[in-house]
Amino acid sequence: MRRPFVAGNWKMNLDRASAVALAEGVAKGADSLVGVDLAVCPPSCYLEAVGRAIAGSKIALGAQNMYHQPDGAFTGELSAAMLRDLGCTYVILGHSERRHILGETDEEVNKKVHAALAAGLTPIICVGELLAQRKAGQTMTVIRRQINGSLAGLSPRQMTGIVIAYEPVWAIGTGEVATPQQAEEVHSALRKIVEDRYNDSIAGSVRIQYGGSVKPENAAELLGRPDIDGALVGGASLKVEQFLGIAEKAG
Ligand code: PEP
């Protein structure tokens, strides 16, 4: 049985005081939630402050990115060990904004996945097609390329430490959510890819989140689908009631 997992991606938003207030609000409200794993992923400069604010709560800490090298002359980057040091459990890797705005490739995502796992972090690997690719009928070609590229060289044991997030790029921050059918179709295809690469037991246990304009109003229908195991939430994770409203639907 897969335990649902809802994570908030705060992106490059908030300041220190509002990040701490949001974290405290979410931590307090999460007290009464059962049957769901929760995480928040603040900007890296607020990881430590948010980590303090959620200490002792049900909320885990995640980062939005990292670099694959363990240390050295890589100005501006953070290593997996540094994120662990800051109290992170999770790291989002290959988010579409990093792929499409910052040019991150599957090969780079794959190096980061290996480095994250080696340091004891759980990567949340994001995959998703552009609107033009969906319209051209290329959704599964794109998803297959991204997931196979991101998972290259991972052993079955390593695969058990992975979370996947299906985030159609056209649904991120647009208010246009994938229909539960559209999402389920890709989620079940992703699970099949994992089964073909590994086995049915690993495919049956890997958690696959949906991301893209998830709100309390549409969460129940999406999260009620058999292969959708939670949500990666952007905009709605910046409001305590909205994030908790989604989390409630997942539990
Ligand atoms: C995201 O950026 O991961 C995301 C899903 O954003 P939003 O919920 O705002 O669409």
pLDDT tens-digit map of 105-163: 999 999 999 999 999 999 999 999 999 999 999 999 999 999 999 999 999 999 999 99
Check residue 221 and give its pLDDT. Answer: 97
Question: Would you call 101 helix, strand, or coil by DSSP?
Answer: coil
One-letter-per-residue 3-state SS of 30-98: HCCCCCCEEEEECCHHHHHHHHHHHCCCCEEEEECCCCCCCCCCCCCCCCHHHHHHCCCCEEEECCHHH
pLDDT at 1: 80
Specify the ligand 1 atom closest to the Cα of 95: 3
- Residue 37: phi and psi, rounded to 5, are -90, 140
- The proportion of the chain whose per-residue pLDDT surpasses 90, expressed as a percent, equals 99
CATH of residue 246: 3.20.20.70
Structure tokens at 71: 């240390």
How many distinct structural domains can be found in the chain? Answer: 1
- Please determine, for residue 251, whether its predicted confidence score (pLDDT) is greater than 90: no
Nearest Cα residue to atom 1 of ligand 1: 234
pLDDT tens digits along 172-190: 999 999 999 999 999 999 9
Give the span between the Cα atoms of 159 and 170, in whole angstroms: 28
Ligand 1 centroid distance, CA of 173 (Å): 5
d(CA 132, CA 129): 8
CA of 72 to the centre of ligand 1 (A): 32
Find the residues whose C-beta lies inside 6 A of ligand 1: 9, 167, 172-173, 211-214, 232-236
Q: Which atom of ligand 1 is nearest to the CA of 235?
A: 9
Does the pTM of the predicted model rise above 0.85?
Answer: yes
Q: Give the residue whose CA is nearest to atom 3 of ligand 1.
A: 234
Q: Which of 104, 108, 129, 167 is catalytic?
A: 167
DSSP sequence for 156-178: HHHHTT-EEEE--GGGTTTS-PP
Ligand 1 centroid – CA 73 distance (Å): 32
Average pLDDT of the residues in 60-74: 98
Q: Catalytic annotation on 100?
A: no
CA distance 210 to 246: 12
Closest CA to 14 of 57, 54, 50: 50
Task: Identify whether 95 is a catalytic site residue.
Answer: yes
Q: Which of 68, 95, 97, 187 is catalytic?
A: 95
Print the domain residue range for 76.
Answer: 5-250
Which ligand 1 atom is the nearest neighbour of the CA of 171? 10
Q: What is the residue-averaged pLDDT of the chain? A: 97
CA 235–ligand 1 middle distance (angstroms): 6
| Distance from Cα 55 to the centre of ligand 1, integer Å | 25
Which pair of tokens denotes residue 88? 């992170």
